[in-house]
Structure 1
Amino acid sequence: MPRVQTASARAPHRALPGDPATPVTGRRQDLDGLRGIAIALVVAFHVWAGRVSGGVDVFLVLSGFFFTGAVVRGAERSATVAVTETARRTARRLMPSLVVVLAAIAVATVVLRPYTQLGETAAQTLASMFYVQNWYLAGAELDYLAPDPSVSPLQHLWSMSVQGQFYLAIVAVLAGWAWLRRRHGVGRPALLLVLLGGGLVSFAYAVFGSAHHQAWTYYDSGARVWELLAGAALAVAAPWVRLPRRVRGLAAAAGLLMVLVCGPIFDGANQFPGVAALWPVAAACLVIVSGFGTGGAAAWPNRLLAGRICTELGAIAYPLYLWHWPILIFVLAETGRADAGLVDGLVVIGVSLVAAYLTTHLVETPLRLPPRGQEQQVGGHRVAGTLVTVLAVAVLVAASGWQAVLRANPAVPPRALDSELYPGAAALLSGADYPAEPMRPTVFEGQADSPPPTTDGCITPNREVRTCTYGDPAGARSIALVGGSHSEHWLPALELLGVEHGIRIVSYLKEGCPITLVDEPSYAEWPFPECREWTEEVLDRLAAEPPDWVLTLSTRYRMDGPGDEVPVEYLEVWTALQDRGLNVLALRDTPRLFRNGVLYRATDCLAHRGDADSCGLDRSAALSAIDPAREPAAGYPNVHLLDLSDAVCRPQRCRVVEGNVLIYRDEHHLTASYARSLAPELGRQIGAITGWW
């Protein structure tokens, strides 16, 4: 991302044992160009490939190199770290563009997006402004009370938060080193060892996390800091390294080639920041070290990177990174498509370049350095400073105010609805007339209308196996509810049945984890061995304390076409349950709301000029004509199928409201209110299979 320089007193350099004789301070235009190439790849891959290019990882290495090098050189000149001045210059470099983009996103959200998204945008705006967006997104991935952040116009700011946190941490480390240097003569070698040690620990943590819980690790600062420390270590070691010209040329060529091919080779969103991230990090390091030498002309890759096109892109890299993602997301949201296509993609890139250029020349440049007496420069500085200040205050007040309003007026979903006025699924199954009433839960209540485990902690976010009892705790009969959130959202119906018929409902639930016995199921977006480990322990517990029945899912939506299917991994679980002598109630999964391959929330659609029918989808798009579990289940005498599709969908259409009750609380989870209305039909099918009533 941005290159940050620091000011320091102009005290003479005081060499210490182990310090290099001459600090290296020359400007590296080739690295400015590398930043330009990296941002071009980031933008192109986001717009047209829908995947990670490795450019952000290159940014992180360069940020660590530039920032650490500037602070270390300043500390060696003045024997201390100018913490206040460093913070002031860093904020001056980073905050103005960020504030402008955040303000634009806020306005665009109000004008273009459903009002149900205002609260989430406000929360992420505050997280981005205070540089904790990465942790917000990591938590949202695990917290089922939070909306899916995958299409947030603020998602890309996670990397800025990681950098901001690194800057704070490295300044503290370097301030401590400067003190030790001044008092005890501790030189660069000791600092280098600390940086390398920290980088190795972070890398090991990233490798472990990527193998066990990729979705969290991707945003984790602890798993990302090794990339910044790689650049920081090179900045500290730079004065000692002198490479022959031929070696430098080979390093530059290899590094540039590795940067260019990183995106096509690696699926970064599912592999970084683990072992695979060594590729873009090593690529950036090779280009950096290609400038470590004396004498001779620069190699052709360095000259290419130092050319005008690359350096001009590098000059606007930071605002271009800030602008391109929200512009892309708003375009996709307005067109309803999963990708921009050639023409719209070119429009997105063109608008992003113009916005980045204007931000650089009207906001960044006037504020980067204090005015020096020229009337035009002073005027530009004042205008830009006033604009940024006003926008910052407005964004903070608006975002904080909206959050305060939401907290003061929390959406409280109904605990029970009058079945005469709000029959829900009963209206679909019986076809009975019912009076028109305002929909419940409302679009604001819908997201909060979740099953108990979401709020009481009985669905685990980690490796721990948690069990909770619902229904009738003293019941003689028992059903174990097993799986992820799509098993969980049936609990409100099972609770009612448990109380009515004396059944203990014991939950074994893990977020994002339909039970599986492989590390990376065919339907998974990333490796998730933690799910496999959890599943194995759950199966052992069920075998040790067998319930009367195990209830889990039998199908899943088809990723490559219409309808639903039975993943082969589900059959492996059925076999494991059969081997343990466990009887299974296998429930067909509920449809997911999607258009053109893009998931959407029912509440957003209803808040954005939609209605119960237009916000739904054709049944044939979501469900196969015949339950796909019928044929494979015939080979498992312990597996008995449940199918409540007719209680959720009409013969031709799956709507989002039935019987005055909102069906979905997001893109694919049932509201607790609608799940409760499904209890009679679920009970009828369970009774027919078990013979309990």
Structure 2
Amino acid sequence: MNQSSLSTKSHYPILDGLRGVAAIIVVTFHLTEPLGTGHLDILVNHGYLAVDFFFLLSGFVIGYAYDDRWQKMSVGTFLKRRIERLQPMVILGMTLGAVGFYFTDSTIWPLIHTVPLWKMLLVMLIGYTILPIPLSLDIRGWQEMHPLNSVGWSLFFEYIANILYAIGIRKLSKTALTILVLISAVALAHLAITSPNGDVSGGWTLNMEQLRIGFTRTMYPFFAGLLLSRVTKATRIKYAFLYCSLLLAIVLYMPRIGGAENLWMNGVYESICIIIIFPLIVYLGTSGTTQTQREYKICKFLGDISYPLYLVHYPIVYFYVAWISNHQGMTLAQAWPYALLILIVSILLAYISLKWYDEPLRRWLKNRRSSKTQ
């Protein structure tokens, strides 16, 4: 997902910026989620669709970056580069989750203070690999693949998509890839429209039902992004970052469609968003250029912090969720100053993590790999 490595190709700073906008919306979703009574009345109701947008962006960037490199690159080299890009922040995110685990005191997590230290450390070490834990190691009680940092589930599926691309799907012709994407789109729409909640939310539990959701949410957007990278012929669009950001925000902040009586309507909405609107946003993003140096710097900053923000915010959100649960009846008017503070702290922590940890470690790993190949 890092385009800074594409030294010989034109850069898409607007896509970087949009990834940052989506990451911030994810944080606002997680901050408003505990204030709702269920999936129908969360203020940022479709914020979880940002994950599907991330998958689409990732597929596009992977195709753009690597499709023409396979004559000189092995599958092992590709996977090493992806590990170098993704794993440092995974390790930091899981470590932060472990550090804060015993301090999130709340009745919604009665298991926490009964969990022995060795078990928590085992979960952390498994989390470092991004492999999902079995339900027998669910130390929080939410049936998460990664109970120390919930967002790890999407990185698990990101790796699966990268592996599928590397070992075979990269070889598909445009026609074959189009057929795969169309089949995946039908599967996604079927999931969204027929799901018990009328949405695609899910994928973070290691059982068959949730694995189906995770794979379905990954297959269409990631490989639609790959297809888009192969067929896109960008035009010139002014103010693309502004228009795309507004469209993305409207889509993700849209209230629930249809209500409890017509759940399928929300499924239709989410299908349209993922299958049509998200590719359109990415296409528009590739068609635009930053208008000023300031806009370029904003896009670069948002792109730089997007991945660290995604990995570091949830360990902080756990404290916020515990606080909300310990103060039943908390309203948005009462909670928003604390939510805003957590958003700001999360962005600062993401930037610090980027500059003091992620970038230096990735440079070291890259130099170490380069020295071995010389």
Same fold (TM over 0.5): yes
Q: Which has the higher strand share?
A: 1
| Shift of residue 303, structure 1, vs aligned partner | 6.1
Change in Cα spacing, 1:234 to 1:370, as seen in structure 2 (3 Å) is same
* Aligned equivalent of 2:2: 3
For each residue in 1:362-383, what CA deviation from the matched residue of structure 2 results, as whole angstroms up to 9, or x when unmatched? Answer: 111112234899xxxx9xxxxx
Structure 2: gaps spanning 5 or more residues: 33-42, 106-111, 204-212, 258-262, 369-374
Equivalent residue for 2:21, pick from 12, 37, 58: 37
Counterpart secondary structure, 1:74: coil
Equivalent residue for 1:104, pick from 92, 96, 105: 96
Change in Cα spacing, 1:217 to 1:260, as seen in structure 2 (3 Å) is closer
Deviating more after overlay: 332-341 vs 320-329: 332-341
| Shift of residue 259, structure 1, vs aligned partner | 0.4
1:282 pairs with 2:276: yes
Change in Cα spacing, 1:201 to 1:106, as seen in structure 2 (3 Å) is same
Counterpart secondary structure, 2:141: coil
1 CA distance for matches of 2:366 and 2:66? 24
| Shift of residue 325, structure 1, vs aligned partner | 1.7
Change in Cα spacing, 1:345 to 1:217, as seen in structure 2 (3 Å) is closer
Counterpart secondary structure, 2:173: helix
Counterpart secondary structure, 2:67: helix
1 CA distance for matches of 2:349 and 2:69? 34
The one-letter code matched in structure 2 to 1:233 is L
* Aligned equivalent of 1:115: 113
Equivalent residue for 2:164, pick from 150, 162, 169: 169
1:193-232 paired onto structure 2 within 5 Å: 193-210=175-192, 211-213=194-196, 218-219=202-203, 220-224=213-217, 225-232=219-226
Change in Cα spacing, 1:232 to 1:44, as seen in structure 2 (3 Å) is same
Q: Relative contact order (alpha carbons < 8 A, sep ≥ 6): 1 or 2 greater?
A: 2
| Shift of residue 209, structure 1, vs aligned partner | 2.7
1:27 pairs with 2:11: yes
Counterpart secondary structure, 1:26: coil
Change in Cα spacing, 1:202 to 1:83, as seen in structure 2 (3 Å) is same
| Shift of residue 278, structure 1, vs aligned partner | 3.1
2 CA distance for matches of 1:145 and 1:112? 13
Change in Cα spacing, 1:196 to 1:81, as seen in structure 2 (3 Å) is farther
The 8 Å contact of residues 157 and 214 in structure 2, kept in 1 or not, is answered as: yes
Change in Cα spacing, 1:286 to 1:304, as seen in structure 2 (3 Å) is farther
Deviating more after overlay: 329-338 vs 270-279: 270-279
Normalised TM-score (structure 2): 0.72
The 8 Å contact of residues 313 and 346 in structure 2, kept in 1 or not, is answered as: yes
* Aligned equivalent of 1:92: 84
Equivalent residue for 1:328, pick from 313, 317, 320: 317
The 8 Å contact of residues 259 and 280 in structure 1, kept in 2 or not, is answered as: no
The one-letter code matched in structure 1 to 2:228 is L
Change in Cα spacing, 1:105 to 1:306, as seen in structure 2 (3 Å) is same
The 8 Å contact of residues 242 and 292 in structure 1, kept in 2 or not, is answered as: yes
The 8 Å contact of residues 255 and 282 in structure 1, kept in 2 or not, is answered as: no
| Shift of residue 31, structure 1, vs aligned partner | 0.8
The one-letter code matched in structure 2 to 1:93 is R
The 8 Å contact of residues 61 and 231 in structure 1, kept in 2 or not, is answered as: yes
1:238-387 paired onto structure 2 within 5 Å: 238=232, 241-243=233-235, 245=236, 248-249=237-238, 255-265=244-254, 267=256, 276-280=270-274, 282-290=276-284, 298=288, 306-334=295-323, 336-337=326-327, 341-370=335-364
2 CA distance for matches of 1:282 and 1:29? 22
2 CA distance for matches of 1:132 and 1:82? 23
| Shift of residue 125, structure 1, vs aligned partner | 4.2
Change in Cα spacing, 1:217 to 1:283, as seen in structure 2 (3 Å) is closer
Change in Cα spacing, 1:3 to 1:371, as seen in structure 2 (3 Å) is closer
Change in Cα spacing, 1:217 to 1:55, as seen in structure 2 (3 Å) is closer
* Aligned equivalent of 2:206: none
The 8 Å contact of residues 32 and 306 in structure 1, kept in 2 or not, is answered as: no
2 CA distance for matches of 1:320 and 1:231? 22
Q: Which has the higher helix share?
A: 2
The 8 Å contact of residues 56 and 223 in structure 2, kept in 1 or not, is answered as: yes
2 CA distance for matches of 1:286 and 1:159? 22
The one-letter code matched in structure 1 to 2:345 is V
* Aligned equivalent of 2:141: 147
The 8 Å contact of residues 47 and 328 in structure 1, kept in 2 or not, is answered as: yes
Counterpart secondary structure, 1:147: coil
1:546-585 paired onto structure 2 within 5 Å: none
* Aligned equivalent of 1:67: 62
The 8 Å contact of residues 36 and 313 in structure 1, kept in 2 or not, is answered as: yes
The one-letter code matched in structure 1 to 2:351 is Y
Change in Cα spacing, 1:83 to 1:364, as seen in structure 2 (3 Å) is same
2 CA distance for matches of 1:279 and 1:252? 18
| Shift of residue 38, structure 1, vs aligned partner | 1.1
1 CA distance for matches of 2:274 and 2:62? 19
2 CA distance for matches of 1:356 and 1:169? 29
The 8 Å contact of residues 45 and 255 in structure 2, kept in 1 or not, is answered as: no
1:443-592 paired onto structure 2 within 5 Å: none
Task: Give me the identity figure in percent.
Answer: 20
The one-letter code matched in structure 2 to 1:29 is P
1 CA distance for matches of 2:340 and 2:256? 23
1 CA distance for matches of 2:336 and 2:311? 21
The 8 Å contact of residues 68 and 232 in structure 1, kept in 2 or not, is answered as: yes
| Shift of residue 84, structure 1, vs aligned partner | 1.9
1:626-665 paired onto structure 2 within 5 Å: none
Equivalent residue for 1:56, pick from 31, 41, 51: 51
Larger radius of gyration: 1
For each residue in 1:302-354, what CA deviation from the matched residue of structure 2 results, as whole angstroms up to 9, or x when unmatched? Answer: 76995323321221111101111220112321452466812211221122112
Counterpart secondary structure, 2:181: helix
1 CA distance for matches of 2:226 and 2:76? 20
2 CA distance for matches of 1:249 and 1:68? 25
Change in Cα spacing, 1:4 to 1:163, as seen in structure 2 (3 Å) is farther
The one-letter code matched in structure 2 to 1:221 is G
* Aligned equivalent of 1:129: 128
Q: CA RMSD in A?
A: 4.0
Counterpart secondary structure, 1:159: helix
Matched positions, count: 326
Normalised TM-score (structure 1): 0.41
2 CA distance for matches of 1:155 and 1:203? 26
Change in Cα spacing, 1:275 to 1:166, as seen in structure 2 (3 Å) is farther
2 CA distance for matches of 1:91 and 1:372? 11
| Shift of residue 153, structure 1, vs aligned partner | 5.0
